[in-house]
Structure formats: structure tokens, C-alpha cells
Structure 1
Amino acid sequence: MKIFGTDGIRGKANIFPLVGDLAYRLGKALVYALDSQKNKKKKIIIGKDTRISGYMLESAITSGIVSMGADAYLVGPMPTPAIAFLVKSMRADAGVVISASHNPFDDNGIKIFSHEGIKISVELEELIESYTLSNALDNIKFLGANIGKVFRIRDTLGRYIVFAKNVFPYNLELDGLRLVIDCANGATYKVAPMIFEELGAEVIVINNEPNGININEKCGSTYPNNIIEKTTLFRADVGIAFDGDGDRVVMVDETGKLIDGDAILSILAIDLKNKGKLKNNTVVGTIMSNFGLEHTLKQNGINLERVDVGDKYIIQRMLEKNYNLGGEPSGHIVLSDFNTTGDGIITALAVLSIIVEKNVKLSSLLTNFTKVPEKTKNVHVSKKVNLEEIDDIQKAIEHVKNSLNGEGRLIVRYSGTEPVVRVTIESKDINIINEGIELISKTIEKHLS
């Protein structure tokens, strides 16, 4: 049995594996798996987003950690990238984030960062998983003064604000810019407005009143119509929308046009290259990156390397080949010169710094970027089986590939975090896109829904 997926553990809260008992066992397993230095008391930071189920999982995993003699440092609701930063800043042994990112409120998840602030390796996940699901640790007990302690850290918000502001060039300010910020009723609801206001922007904040059940509810980066509407309504220079845990961002220009992750990568890559700061003249994308990004980068002498979907694969390639920019169309952008994981706030600041430095509108930074038309449909399934084993689905896929005639792209893949098959088609012919999506989706639904 596997409990770790492409981005930690993910599922419905209070249904296996996101239950208190397993979270307790996971806390124990994490400490034991990290215990290479037997005499050193472990320090583990625990953060979360604003989901109501976060309290349950936080308490359970904390209990497991301290029962194994380690100390737990609770920081409360904070963006996922803030935990990655704090793990390094506070010299912790690991960081735990309780969040289901962009998923609905009744989902939750657990992801783990190493002492370097990067997501733990598959090998370490498998080791933790084996301890969690077995009885190997049942008889290991820490007693008396050897039990760990729990600390609630009060100044983490300020630490991350200082870190984020230091990323923004000292000679620049956001004075004169009107920003609309959509916090998705999630982990950025406090920290994001403070950062942009302290840098001088006029900030209009929406969806910054979390109640435990409204995170990502028709708001944030996964519901961009909201930020598009408000950016236009308030005549803002830029709209910025985060997801529930703040590791993704999409933006809106002054004309009301959505700027997704591919467009953001294009802006950042060209600017870094012009300044001689884009390492090895390469950007890391995924198989989902639009061909329009690849074309734009190529025109500017920049290579695009594609990896599997998931930020951990992007970061892995960046570390392997010494690249400093990567990301996904969803707005999960990694600027490794500043942070070790996707960071929505840092990404937004990087784009804003270009606008201020050049004294231009956001729309002007995308005059040479054109996306190839694409459409993605999420097909909900009741089970995940090998799609190659279902003849009807393979015939539908082959039919669509033939209709594309080598002038488009078809991607059919399971989500790593949700019970859906994502069907994506890129083509200059809208009819081929619509007909292909309909054919494959209905075939999948017939067999798997």
C-alpha cells in the first residue's frame, strides 16, 4: 500500500490516509527515519493552511513527533514556501506542511521538507511510509524527560516578510501601483497584503477572511475569473491570485488579461537572460507547458527542458543541471536564487520588479508571447487503472492524434493529487480541440466513472 503520491499525502480529511491515527504514526516515523545522529534532539517545524481539518492533523502529527523525543515548532497558517524558508533559517531537521494546496476545503494533505528546504526524496518517503504502515515502532517509547516539547513560534510572520522584501531590489518601490490581491481564503491571507503594502503599493485585498471551509471556494488562482473581474473593476495595474497554500500564483494585466504560469515564465526568463542571470540559458517546464512558451523562449535563445508534472521533478532537474528557473502553467514557479520551492509571493514580486524597473505596463512584457490554443478537461474517475489496458480509450487517443496530424499535442494523464484524468489538447484548430476532448472524455467516463 502506498500513501505518498506526487506531492506528499493527499485525500479527504478524516478518511484514510488523512486520519489522526495515521498522522500520529507518520510523526513517529518521520523522527525515526531522520535519526541518523542518535544523540541530537530533532527540531521539526509544522505549518498549515486554513482548512478546518488542519487542527486535527496538526495535533496528531505533533503528538507523534514529541512521543519520539523530538521537539515540534508550530507556526500556524503560513504559506508552504514560508515553511521551506523557515526550515533553513531556523536550522530545523525537517518541515511539515499540512495542506491540500489548491484542492477543496474537505481535502487535506501532508508534505515534508528536508533540512535543506526541499521536498524529501522518494527514498525517504518510502522509508517513512514503511515505518508508518508497520508495527516496527510500536515498542519504541521515550519516557520522562526524554519526551519532546512543543513550541509555538510567534514571530515567523515577520521573518518571512523580511525575507520576501529582501528579494525585491533595494532601489525599487511599488509606489504608484494599485494591486488587487486574491488570497484564496488561504495561507497568504495575512502575510501577502503586508508585504506588498510595506513595499509601497496601494493594495485591495479580496478573499482574505478564512473560516476553515472557504479556502479555494470560487477564488484564488484556480478560479481566475474572480481576480480578472476585480482587477478590471478597481482599474488596478496588476491583479495577483494565490492558491490555498501560496505556492502558486497567476496574474492579471491592466487590460484584464490572465497571465498564467507559462506567461510568467516567459517574462522572467527573458529578463534574466537579458541581465546575464539565467543559468545555462535554460528554463525547466513540464509536459504540460504550452508550445507557445517553447516557441517564445527559442526566439530569445533560451532552451526549454520538459519533465513530468510536479514541482519536485522540476526542482530535481534544476538541482541536477544547475538551472535557476522552472515552473508549471498552473503558476507554480521556482526561482531557486531566492527559495527552494514554488513561491507565489516571490514570483509576483519578481514580475513587479521588472514592471517598476522598466516603468512599463504588465501587458507590454508579453507582446511576443502567444499561446497555442489549448483546452484541459478533468474527467472524474472512481478508480485508477492503466489506461493502456483499455482498448476503447487507446483507440480514442489514437484517433485524436491522427486528427492533429503532427501539428498539435495531446496529453492524457492521471492527476497525482485528485481522482481525475486530465485530458489536454493543443492545436490551432479549435474544432479539433473540442471534438477530441469530447471523444476521449466520454470514452474514459464510460469505462472508469
Structure 2
Amino acid sequence: MGRLFGTDGVRGVANADLTAELALGLSVAAAHVLAEAGTFAGHRATAVVGRDPRASGEFLEAAVVAGLASAGVDVLRVGVLPTPAVAHLTGALGADLGVMLSASHNAMPDNGIKFFARGGHKLADELEDRIESVYADHRTGAPWDRPTGAGVGRVRDYDEGLDQYVAHLVGVLPNRLDGLKIVLDEAHGAASRVSPEAFARAGAELVTIGAVPDGLNINDGCGSTHLDLLKAAVVEHGADLGIAHDGDADRCLAVDHTGAEVDGDQILAVLALAMREREALRSDTVVATVMSNLGFKLAMEREGIRFVQTGVGDRYVLEEMKEHGYALGGEQSGHVIILDHATTGDGTLTGLMLAARVAQTGRTLRDLASVMERLPQVLVNVPDVDKSRVTSSAELATAVAEAERELGSTGRVLLRPSGTEPLVRVMVEAADIEQARSVAGRLADSVKSALG
């Protein structure tokens, strides 16, 4: 059995890779591991379980709930809610464990399982490894220690979860959204009820699209991975801005009143300035990944805000933030973490905060986002090369150094081996798109020559 946990839980094609048996077994294993770790010491354990609207989530939820209850864990079933809502409720309700069933922005046939520890934080890597080990031992014959009688877990629906989460979102806003007309694209996903309710309570006039989930249409041509519908709707309705979520609403992208995209880097830039103004940007620092546009870094330097870079992935952003006490971080893809109010990326919270800045300043989102200029970025995938030698090839190091000298301070080069394929990704940013293409093409040839 290969490693089950990736960077964002366990994910695969539902009922093929991710079966009911696997979901049940992992849930029992998680309960045993957390009990061994002392998480349940001295009290009866409770778990919060939620899901996105995928059809497969129905049987996978049943399997997870059965596994937890069979291991003696009481279950609060919150139904269809965003991933950050499950994380929030896990903390707010004092639960020992949270479980979210979702494959985020993936297509409908996929699904996934993500575990949260007490407080709503992602499980530590060593606990995920231990869960895998215990699950593997059981598959090879090790029996579970099963409670009986009154020791089995009890299951109840917790319908108050949606209202509790929405109240939290609206309660942390620095100002209301009265006077704004906003288009929301919910990707037929987990925020289809939550996000419109939160924006409406905050005072916005709404047009909502992609908010009729049927179990099969999640992320289908809509949401943060397909912005064309949102762009058209914003222009058609004369809205001030548009907000797009993905299937589990842990990310947010935006569209300004002209229909132009506002990506995660620009959203981070707008929020960083807003938070500094109200003295909420601790250490005047924002955290982002090496994939952030160079224009973001230059804008933060110009504004006197420190920019800390991490590896690709919101988990690395969150680790850096927690270690040093930073308040804001995120990715170009729209995963934005506002750590004072959320333990994970929260697309609805991000959208609300962005809209609040528009309402508070009276400026357009286009104007606010212009604090940074996105430099042209060219990405070339070079397949069938030895990606393990990216950092050790002297020939490649020479080529990169030459490219960096040519680009100077207004350009950037990044060579990154793919985590899943035998290829190297060449990314070049420059002030001019033709220069970026030229340098990227030469570097791709160098990668082929040095690593082929």
C-alpha cells in the first residue's frame, strides 16, 4: 500500500481509490491513534463531521460516522458545510476531532478525507503517519479494540452549525457591506448556503450563481477554477465585484467591476494594507509561496511590508505563520489564511474581508488591486528529464545565473521539479512578456540538455 495521506488529506476517485471500507478504516484508526496520543484522556471523545455536496459524500459520510461511533466517539454531523466551517466548529465546540469529506476544486468523481485536530488545526504529519500504520496493521489482521453497550459512540445532527459559522464570519468583519452589489459564484459547492447568507447579513446586495448543487455539478464549469461565468455576470449586472469559491470554499478569487480577474496575490496585497491600517498585521509581515508573482514582492517592499516566502502549498504557509505569529498569508491560487479568525484557508471570510475594504474605502476593487502590477509570467513544463538533479547540475546552475543577470531586479527564475510527474517546471517573470518567453525557452533547452 502506497502512502495514503498527501498534502491535503487522503484523496482519490470515490468508490475506486477512496472506498467506504477505506473511509471507515481510517476513521477507526484515527480514533485509536488520538486516544493513544492522549487527546481523549479523561473524557468521552467527540468529532465534528461535514462534507461537500458530492453524491459520493453521502456514502462516505455514513462510513466515517460508523467508524468513529464504533470506536466510541460521539459524532456531531453538521452536513454540507465548507472545510473552514468544519475546522471552525471543531474548535468552537471543543471537539476532539474534525473530519471533512471533500476533494476541493477536483472534478465530481473525486472525493477526499481531511482530519482536523482539537482546535480545528490540521493533524501533524506524525499523527497522519501513525493513522496509516494502524490502518495497515488492521488490514493485515490486527483486531480493533471495540467498545460495546454504552461505550459505543452516539450520533446526532448538529443543524446549528451553519448559523453559528455565519455569525462568526459576520462578527469579525471590520465594517458592513451596505451599498455594494456583489456577484457570488459558489461552484455548486459546500458554500452554496453559507456564503450568500453571510454576505446578505453583512448588508450586500447579491446576485448568486452556481449555488444549486445536485451532487453531480460541483466545480462543473464554474467557481474559482472557471471564472468566465462570474466575469460575464459581474458586467451584466453592473456589480461592484464578484467572488468565486471552489468546491469546499477554502479559496477565493475575485473579479473587479470591469470583469478583470483579481488573483490571490492581489487579494493578499489589498488585505495586507487594510490589516496594517487597523494594526492587525503583526510584525508588518505577510507570508506567501515562491510561486507568488514578483510584482507582489515588489509592491510589498514599496509599501514597507515584509514578505516571507515558503515552499508551494498552503500547509507551508500556515506552518510559517503559526511558528512566528504572523496574521496573514496565502497563495496565488486564492488560499488566504487570516489566522486571527480561521485555522485554515477560508474563501468566504476572504471574500467578506475584501468586500469590506471596498466598502470602507469607497474605492473600486480595480483601484485597490492596482497596488501591485502582475509581471508577465511564463511557465514551461520540461518532461522526461531527471528532476532529481535540478539543484545539483552545474550546467543548469550556470544557465540560471545567466538568466538572472539578464533579468536583473525586475525579473525572476524558478526551476521546480514536479511532485507527481517526471518533469521540471520552468517559471520566468520579467517586465516584458517577450523577454520572459525568450528566457524561459532558453532555460527549458538547458534543462533538456543538462537533465535529459
Task: Give the TM-score normalised by the residue count of structure 2.
Answer: 0.89
The residue identity in structure 2 corresponding to 1:148 is G
Name the structure 1 match of 2:33.
33
1:420–1:403 CA distance, 2 compared to 1 (3 A): closer
Letter in 2 for 1:296: A
Cα distance in 1 for partners of 2:292, 2:266 equals: 10
How does 1:226-237 map onto structure 2 within 5 Å?
A: 226-237=229-240
Q: How has the CA–CA distance of structure 1 residues 63 and 137 changed in structure 2, closer, same or farther, with 3 Å as cutoff?
A: farther
Shift of the alpha carbon at 1:243? 0.8
> Which residue in 2 is equivalent to 1:268?
271
Structure 1 unaligned spans of 5+: none
CA distance, structure 2, for counterparts of residue 253 and residue 128 of structure 1: 44
User: Alignment partner of 2:113: what SS?
Assistant: strand
> Take 2:259 and 2:213, find their aligned partners in 1: how far apart are those partners?
26
Kindly provide the amino acid, as one letter, of the partner of residue 242 in structure 1: H
Which whole-Å CA distance do the structure 1 matches of 2:207 and 2:276 have between them?
Answer: 32
**Stretch deviating more after TM superposition (118-127 or 131-140):** 131-140
2:28 is equivalent to residue 23 of structure 1: no
Write out per-residue CA displacement over residues 244-266 of structure 1, whole angstroms, 9 at most, x where no aligned residue: 10010011111222111100111
Match of 1:178 in 2: 181
In 2, the alpha carbon distance for the partners of 1:27 and 1:419 equals: 33
Partner of 1:77: 80
Cα distance change, pair 438–308 in 1 and its aligned pair in 2 (3 A): same
What is the aligned counterpart of 2:208 among 205, 209, 213? 205
Distance (whole Å) between structure 1 residues aligned to residue 423 and residue 229 of structure 2: 24
2:343 corresponds in structure 1 to 340
Most deviating of 355-364 and 79-88: 355-364
Indicate whether 1:141 and 2:146 are aligned. yes
Alignment size in residue pairs: 440
The answer to whether the 8 A contact 2:101-2:112 is kept is yes
Taking only the aligned residue pairs, the percentage that are identical comes to 38
- The 3-state SS of whatever aligns with 1:59 is helix
Question: Helix, strand or coil for the counterpart of 1:91?
Answer: coil
Secondary structure in structure 1 of the residue aligned to 2:32:
helix
Relative to the length of structure 1, the TM-score reads 0.89
Q: Are residues 1:122 and 2:125 paired?
A: yes
CA RMSD after TM alignment: 2.9
Matches within 5 A, 1:61-76: 61-76=64-79
**Aligned 8 A contact 2:218 2:247 in 1:** yes
> Which stretches in structure 2 are left out of the alignment for 5+ residues?
none
Q: Check conservation: 2:14, 2:110, Cα contact below 8 A.
A: yes
Q: Which amino acid aligns with 1:335?
A: I
**Aligned pair 1:365/2:368, yes or no?**
yes
| CA–CA separation in structure 2 for the residues paired with 1:73 and 1:413 | 42
Q: Contact 1:87–1:117 (CA<8 Å) still a contact in 2?
A: yes
Residue identity matched to 1:88: G
Question: How far 1:205 sits from its partner (Å)?
Answer: 0.5
Aligned mates of 1:239, 1:417 — CA distance in 2: 33
Residues 235 and 350 from structure 1, CA distance in 2 versus in 1: closer, same or farther, beyond 3 angstroms?
same
> Partner amino acid for 1:10?
R
**Displacement of 1:377:** 6.3
Contact kept in structure 1, 2:57 and 2:101, CA below 8 Å:
yes
CA distance in 2, matches of 1:394, 1:13: 44
| Map 1:99-110 → 2, pairs under 5 A | 99-110=102-113
* C-alpha contact (below 8 Å) 1:248/1:333 kept by paired residues: yes
1:167-192 residue CA offsets vs partner (Å, 9 max, x unmatched)? 123xx432221110000110011111
Measure, in 2, the Cα distance between the counterparts of 1:249 and 1:347: 7
Contact 1:400 1:436 in 2 (8 A): no
Match of 1:328 in 2: 331
State the 1:38 CA deviation.
4.5
Q: Does 1:162 align with 2:167?
A: yes
